[in-house]
Amino acid sequence: MLCSIDNGDVVVRLLVLAGSEEDAEPLLKEIERAGLELASCRVETIETLPAALQQGTWHLALLDEGAPGGVDDALRLLRAGAPALPAVVVGAKPSEEAAVRALRAGAQDYVSRQHLERLGSVVRCALCTDETGPDGAPCAGRARCEPNTHKMEALARLAHGVAHDLNNLLTIIKGYSAMAHDALPEYHHARRDMAEVMMAADRATALSRQLTLLASRQPLARRVWDLNELVLGAHKMLCELVGGGEDGAGDERAIHLELDLSPDTLPVAVDAAQLRRVLASLARNTRDAMPDGGQLAIRTRRRRPDDRLGCGGSGVIPGERAQLVVRDTGAGMSADVLEHLFEPYYTTKRGHGLGLGLAVVYGIVRRHDGCIAVQSLPGLGTTISICLPRAQEGGQAPPPGSLRTEGGRS
């Protein structure tokens, strides 16, 4: 057992199962490259794993598939000895079969050595999510933290440019259409056609507004709210959106909404209208994922600095956080869908939907200095976790981006 433990509060305490230092070193370097400071303990065999679990409080277990004894037994030991500890498995090569086996055994995610560039973001996601099953073990879901930040920023700039040019063209189209409509006699058949053109222009204007929101150019009306109160205030809207109710009575195909709110006050500095937009978008996705009915659970929790750390390429959220978790029992998503989940205009809804909903959700969360993580597998539902910085009760809303850690982007 080779250990190097730092008792500081700012490091990630990592328990590593790897057969040799040479096997573990590239994994640790990749995680550190993602901006995390590590205190690691390496065990070479699963026989020494139980003793290491008792040595201290760990944030994450990193399991090398090539270690003596294999990861299946290691995951069983973790479930028995530390059921709430998230685990990430590293395999020699990409294997969907190995990934599914690891996830079903309780791992948070699976990364191959051929794609170690994913490891940093995967570890951040595993640290951010605090979802456990009924037995207290980590949910067997594939964690997906957030899309490539640079790619999203480029898409946002493109969206802003398109929205600006589109607005200029729409101003001309709407102006001339209105003049042509008004110039025609009441009985003229073309008046109806011009009315259709005007309505299409109005729909295009609404689309332009969404592009502007995606591009993060609209100012935020921030003030300090209790997250619990915001969720309660959106309860009626959410019930109407999913077509169900809270008490579980009625149509067996209905979606039943369950609220599990934190007993703590959760002050957050947010634009309330934008947070309602986030909840509405997630509720619509839930409705589409459960055409035969199911359960939508919304949970809020207080997360302290020594809880599992925040996720995302912009760095760990400093201080206490407020967590919003939205979980459904729907169809779930494959790894391919998760890979593109937050990208603009990506949609699996054939015939309807523009594919902007989750892209806008991502943009709103980022603008509020938060992070978002997703866990899902086909047939096992989806859990979306959003962490926001916890504000001072009765305090003033901070300026945008002021809570980002070094390296963050506004």
Q: Is the pLDDT of residue 406 over 50?
A: no
How confident is the model at residue 315, as a pLDDT? 41
This prediction has a pTM of 0.51
How confident is the model at residue 58, as a pLDDT? 87
Using a pLDDT cut of 90, give the percent of the chain over it: 16
Residues of the chain with CATH 3.40.50.2300: 2-138
d(CA 3, CA 277): 47
How confident is the model at residue 133, as a pLDDT? 35
Pick the CATH number of 223-389 from 3.40.50.740, 3.30.565.10, 3.30.420.40, 1.10.260.40: 3.30.565.10
CB atoms within 10 A of CB 263: 8
* CA-closest candidate to residue 296, choices 287, 307, 304: 287
Q: Is 2-138 in CATH node 3.40.50.2300?
A: yes
Instruction: Quick: pLDDT tens for 301-360.
Output: 988 765 544 444 334 455 788 999 999 888 888 877 777 777 766 666 655 554 556 777
How confident is the model at residue 394, as a pLDDT? 58
Characterize 169-202 residue by residue with b for buried, 16 or more Cβ atoms within 10 angstroms of its Cβ, and e for exposed: ebeebbeebeeebeeeeeeeeebeebeebeeebe
Phi, psi of 228 (to 5 degrees): -60, -45
Instruction: Quick: pLDDT tens for 381-399.
Output: 888 999 998 887 655 544 4
DSSP state at residue 46: G
Token pair 């934008």: residue = 274
Q: Is the pLDDT of residue 279 over 80?
A: yes
How confident is the model at residue 326, as a pLDDT? 92
Instruction: Quick: pLDDT tens for 282-296.
Output: 988 888 888 888 889
Average pLDDT (44-53) is 88
Residues of the chain with CATH 3.30.565.10: 223-389
CB atoms within 10 A of CB 337: 14
d(CA 367, CA 236): 26
Instruction: Quick: pLDDT tens for 63-84.
Output: 998 888 878 889 988 888 887 7
Instruction: Quick: pLDDT tens for 123-171.
Output: 876 665 444 433 333 333 333 444 445 455 556 666 667 777 788 888 8
Residues of the chain with CATH 1.10.287: 149-214
Q: Which helix (H) or strand (E) holds 51?
A: helix 49-53
Per the prediction, the chain carries an average pLDDT of: 76
Average pLDDT (222-251) is 79
Token pair 């949609």: residue = 347
Average pLDDT (207-236) is 79
d(CA 366, CA 384): 15
Instruction: Quick: pLDDT tens for 18-32.
Output: 989 999 999 999 888
How confident is the model at residue 158, as a pLDDT? 65
How confident is the model at residue 287, as a pLDDT? 85
What is the topology classification, in CATH, of domain 149-214? Helix Hairpins (1.10.287)
Task: Name the pLDDT band for 210 (thresholds 50, 70, 90).
Answer: low
How confident is the model at residue 391, as a pLDDT? 87
